[in-house]
């Protein structure tokens, strides 16, 4: 048996003694990675925040598809929706994610609707390590309520919209290789959960 080490955090598994050799889970996951990690999940689930922390832990680059669309278009996401409409945004999203998935080992946070495009979804399931970042409705409502960056929620009842999207999208998100629960607690807890699941998944591949 070994002790699992996360930098300063020592995670003591039941029955593990302190004099056992240490096992650096971040380095072990990083060593096994040969393709991008792609985060999927609804708005407000915490993909961007968690994605940055995961990329940092693995010492790889982080990309957020919405931010890349904003960079490429020189507009905010609400502006893209307002000026050109959702189909235009979706096409840009498809192209941006295709380009990001060609970047080798990295972490990519996708917009909540990205996997509704069958081509994008096919690529994610076949060519990346996919993680569904799942959060309770109350957490997503709280997080999305903090800004007006999400055009699909503007002037609508957010609970109704997110509930409807969950019905349609959860059966798709659940095709991801790994599910990580982000319950609004410290992001480090989500990281530890993700590293353990990633290690176990990558070892069995």
Residue 150 binds ligand S3P, judged by CB under 6 A: yes
How many residues form the binding site for ligand S3P (CB under 6 A)?
A: 10
Residue 4 binds ligand S3P, judged by CB under 6 A: no
Residues 6+ apart with CB under 8 A from 35: 104, 105, 127, 128, 129
Which residue among 25, 43, 133, 191 contacts ligand S3P (CB under 6 A)? 43
Residue 196 binds ligand S3P, judged by CB under 6 A: no
Which residue among 23, 121, 151, 201 contacts ligand S3P (CB under 6 A)? 151
Q: Which stretch binds ligand S3P (CB under 6 A): 10-18, 100-108, 129-137, 146-154?
A: 146-154
CB 144 within 8 A of CB 44: yes
Q: Which is nearer to ligand S3P, 24 or 181 (CB)?
A: 181
Q: Which stretch binds ligand S3P (CB under 6 A): 2-10, 51-59, 129-137, 145-153?
A: 145-153
Residue nearest to ligand S3P as judged by C-beta position: 111
The mark string for 94-133 relative to ligand S3P (x by CB under 6 A, - otherwise) is -----------------xxx--------------------
Q: Which is nearer to ligand S3P, 59 or 82 (CB)?
A: 82
Q: Residues in the site for ligand S3P, rule: CB under 6 A?
A: 43, 47, 66, 77, 111-113, 150-152
């Amino acid at each position: 048996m070994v002790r699992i080490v996360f930098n300063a955090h020592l995670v003591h598994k039941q029955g593990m003694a302190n004099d056992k050799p240490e096992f650096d889970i971040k380095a072990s996951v990083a060593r096994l990675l040969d393709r991008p990690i792609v985060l999927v999940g609804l708005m407000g689930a915490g993909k961007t925040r968690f994605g940055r922390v995961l990329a940092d832990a693995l010492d790889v680059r982080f990309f957020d598809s919405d931010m890349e669309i904003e960079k490429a278009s020189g507009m905010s996401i609400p502006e893209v929706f307002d000026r050109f409409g959702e189909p235009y945004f979706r096409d840009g999203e498809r192209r941006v994610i295709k380009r990001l998935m060609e970047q080798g080992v990295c972490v990519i946070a996708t917009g909540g609707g990205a996997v509704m495009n069958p081509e994008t979804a096919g690529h994610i399931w076949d060519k990346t390590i996919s993680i569904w970042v799942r959060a309770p409705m109350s957490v997503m409502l709280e997080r999305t309520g903090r800004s007006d960056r999400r055009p699909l929620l503007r002037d609508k009842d957010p609970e109704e919209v997110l509930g409807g999207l969950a019905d349609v999208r959860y059966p798709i998100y659940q095709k991801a290789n790994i599910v990580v629960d982000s319950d609004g607690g410290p992001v480090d807890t989500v990281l530890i959960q993700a590293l353990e699941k990633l290690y176990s998944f990558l070892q069995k591949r």
